[in-house]
């Protein structure tokens, strides 16, 4: 199991650690991230990374959302969840300001 570094998310649009994990995902049973928000914001990049990880038999665990994505067939559900998280964040932002 590999835990993704928190600092990865502090540099926008930089996924160096995540990309290096993709290269060796077959060596891990799973990758743990705090949230789906740690995945790339660009849907095509996100789909590419997640698909490559899952195709190597590696699962993705998201702690805050308490979900595990273990196959490419679950990608649509993950994308739906990401859309809901983005929507709830936007609504919270509007209510605050």
**DSSP tag of 70:** -
| Domain locations in the chain as residue ranges | 2-96
For 35, the 3-state DSSP assignment is: coil
69, β-bridge pairs: 60
**What is the predicted pLDDT for the residue at 1?**
55
> Residues 13-41: what's their mean pLDDT?
88
Report whether 3 contacts 29 (CB < 8 A): no
- Please write the tens of the pLDDT for every residue from 28-61: 999 999 899 889 989 999 999 999 999 999 999 9
Residue 73 has pLDDT above 70, yes or no: yes
**What is the predicted pLDDT for the residue at 95?**
61
Distance (Å, whole) CA 83 – CA 77: 10
């Amino acid at each position: 199991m590999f835990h993704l570094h928190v600092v990865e998310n502090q540099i926008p649009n930089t996924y160096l650690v995540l990309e290096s994990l993709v290269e060796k995902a077959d060596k891990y049973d799973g990758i743990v991230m705090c949230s789906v928000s740690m995945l790339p914001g660009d849907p095509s990049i996100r789909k590419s990374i997640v698909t490559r990880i899952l195709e190597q038999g590696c699962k993705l665990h998201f702690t805050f959302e308490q979900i595990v994505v273990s196959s490419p067939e679950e990608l649509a559900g993950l994308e739906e969840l990401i859309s809901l998280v983005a929507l709830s964040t936007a609504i919270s932002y509007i209510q605050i300001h």
